[in-house]
């Protein structure tokens, strides 16, 4: 690098070929650059520029020395130079400058690919037209923002500016007429859900207050002073709670002399003279008496007051949700399971058949004989057993035996407390060979040897 860089403070390299390629690689295509440099520079200048580039740039790519004719060699060297400049970061490439500007070839229309230039122009034109059609102008965006702001400030009171007689303007709701202050100053009451067609001011209704409410509730709770609902006759049908409420409210209106008049706006005409205060008081009592009034007439002794019915929870009893009932299906018994007898009977010939089960006993000392093992088992279990020594294929330091024991005493012989320490035992298993066909005569002779061959070898 010290022989190449001419400036001590800047990374500058003098080369007309590299300076031209570095400045035109982002503007022109590779074919045009190769064709222009091949006609403007000599073969030696291009080879020198290639060596200078590989010395100036730290890269892992190996410099290939091209061979062949001069025209092909020059073209390949120029392609190597362009490829290295493109694949290397701009910070790692030094600044190439030209000392003799007259050597730099002029770029004219003869060296430009006109077809590619026309394609680029058409592409840019198409993109500009798409931007004009799809993108919005600044004026349109500002107009849309103003519409959104106005929409956020809009309120539902616009339709009720002319008909707001039901609003008390003396308590702060006069600001409802102002569009911008509707969400800030709303007043102590909310807007009533009334339509324009059905909202009107009917004639004042005669409403009674606490006197009517107390008289009706007292009569319902006390059963008209006697604690019992009286029937006119045994043939009279019970009246529904709604009839009682209507009758009681009508009597309250006739008896009361002082009335309180208050204008009230309703959305539908009043069809029944049921007072709101009285209806609210009877609501709880009507739910309780609905089931009792519709039942069959009872005698005077069986009748109960409303208070007793309410205390008992009505006609139906309430059950706790936490109570669970265990439901279990009936288990089917296995009819084929038998029971084994335990009576000791030795005088007669009626006894159980002695079926023998083979056991495999291993790791027995080579000095132990068949008689020694039989005597040991007889002393422990009082059972005479049959032993057969298993012949091993290879000579071992221990012996293995096949013992036949009664089936009904198998649990005694499978107990580990019966056998001496170090002796291994289990039920005998007959291992059959896969590739050999055993005849009935030889099958019984090979069972013992097969067990030993598969497990002991």
Domain ranges within the chain, ordered by starting residue: 12-113, 143-155+171-191, 207-224+244-253+275-289, 356-456
pLDDT in tens, 356-413: 999 999 999 989 999 999 999 999 999 999 889 998 888 889 999 999 999 888 999 9
What is residue 126's predicted lDDT score, i.e. its pLDDT?
93
- Average pLDDT, integer, range 174-190: 49
Q: Which runs of E-coded beta strand occur in 249-397? A: 260-262, 356-365, 386-389
Residue 124 has pLDDT above 90, yes or no: yes
Higher-confidence residue of 270 and 220: namely 220
356-365 and 424-427 beta bridge pairing: antiparallel
Backbone angles phi, psi at 291, to 5 degrees: -75, -35
What is residue 168's predicted lDDT score, i.e. its pLDDT?
59
**pLDDT band at residue 6 under the 50/70/90 scheme:** low
Residue 282 has pLDDT above 80, yes or no: no
Q: With beta carbons less than 8 A apart as the criterion, state whether 372 and 408 touch.
A: no
pLDDT in tens, 98-108: 888 888 888 87
Where does residue 313 fall: left (phi above 0), alpha (psi -120 to 50 degrees), or beta otherwise?
left
- Average pLDDT, integer, range 232-259: 45
Q: What is the mean pLDDT of the chain?
A: 70
457: CB partners within 8 A, 6+ apart: 392, 393, 394
* Bridge partners, residue 262, by sequence: 205
Residue 75 parent element (H or E): helix 70-87
**What does the alpha-carbon distance between residue 435 and residue 432 come to, in Å, rounded to a whole number?**
9
Backbone angles phi, psi at 427, to 5 degrees: -75, 145
**pLDDT band at residue 427 under the 50/70/90 scheme:** very high
Share of the chain above pLDDT 90, in %: 15
- The set of long-range contacts for 38-42, using a CB threshold of 8 Å and a minimum separation of 24, is 38/71, 38/74, 38/75, 38/78, 39/105, 40/103, 40/104, 40/105, 41/16, 41/17, 41/103, 41/105
Number of Cβ atoms within 10 Å of the Cβ of 127: 10
Q: With beta carbons less than 8 A apart as the criterion, state whether 245 and 284 touch.
A: no
**What does the alpha-carbon distance between residue 29 and residue 114 come to, in Å, rounded to a whole number?**
11
Residue 311 has pLDDT above 90, yes or no: no
Residue 428 has pLDDT above 50, yes or no: yes
Higher-confidence residue of 22 and 255: namely 22
What is residue 23's predicted lDDT score, i.e. its pLDDT?
87
CATH 3.30.70.330 fits 356-456, yes or no: yes
438: CB partners within 8 A, 6+ apart: 432, 446
Q: What is the CA radius of gyration of the chain?
A: 57
């Amino acid at each position: 690098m010290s022989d190449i860089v001419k400036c001590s403070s800047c990374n500058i390299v003098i080369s007309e070929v590299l300076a031209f390629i570095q400045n035109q690689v982002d503007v022109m295509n590779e074919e045009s650059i190769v064709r222009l440099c091949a006609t403007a520079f000599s073969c030696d200048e291009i080879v020198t520029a290639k060596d200078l580039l590989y010395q100036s740039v730290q890269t892992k790519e190996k410099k290939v020395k091209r061979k062949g004719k001069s025209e092909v060699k020059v073209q390949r060297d120029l392609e190597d130079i362009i490829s290295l400049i493109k694949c290397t970061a701009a910070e790692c490439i030094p600044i190439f400058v030209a000392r003799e500007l007259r050597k730099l070839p002029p770029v004219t229309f003869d060296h430009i690919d006109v077809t590619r230039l026309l394609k680029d122009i058409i592409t840019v034109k198409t993109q500009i037209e798409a931007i004009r059609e799809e993108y919005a102008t600044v004026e349109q965006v500002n107009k849309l923002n103003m519409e959104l702001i106005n929409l956020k400030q809009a309120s539902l009171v616009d339709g009720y500016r002319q008909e707001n007689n039901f609003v008390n303007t003396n308590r702060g709701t006069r600001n409802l007429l102002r569009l911008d202050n509707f969400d800030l100053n709303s007043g102590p009451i909310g807007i009533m859900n009334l339509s324009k067609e059905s909202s009107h001011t009917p004639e004042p209704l005669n409403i009674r207050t606490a006197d009517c409410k107390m008289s009706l509730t007292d009569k319902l709770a006390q059963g008209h002073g006697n604690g019992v609902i009286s029937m006119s006759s045994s043939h009279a049908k019970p009246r529904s709670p709604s009839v009682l409420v209507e009758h009681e409210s009508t009597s309250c209106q006739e008896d009361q002399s002082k009335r309180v008049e208050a204008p009230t706006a309703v959305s539908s005409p009043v069809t029944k003279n049921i007072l709101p205060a009285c209806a609210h008081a009877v609501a709880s009592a009507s739910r309780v008496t609905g089931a009792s009034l519709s039942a069959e007439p009872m005698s005077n002794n069986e009748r109960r007051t409303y208070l007793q019915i309410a205390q008992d929870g009505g006609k139906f009893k309430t059950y706790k949700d936490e109570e669970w009932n265990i439901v279990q299906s009936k288990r089917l018994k296995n009819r084929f399971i038998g029971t084994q007898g335990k009576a000791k009977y030795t005088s007669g010939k009626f006894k159980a058949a002695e079926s023998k089960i083979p056991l495999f006993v291993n790791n027995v000392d080579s000095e132990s004989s068949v008689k020694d093992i039989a005597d040991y088992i007889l002393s422990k279990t009082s059972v005479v057993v049959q032993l057969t020594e298993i012949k091993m294929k290879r000579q071992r330091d221990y012996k293995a035996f096949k013992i036949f024991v009664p089936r009904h005493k198998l649990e005694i012989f499978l107990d580990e407390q019966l056998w001496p320490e170090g002796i291994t035992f289990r039920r005998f298993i007959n291992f059959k060979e896969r590739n050999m066909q055993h005849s009935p005569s030889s099958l019984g002779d090979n069972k013992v040897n097969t067990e030993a061959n598969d497990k002991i070898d």
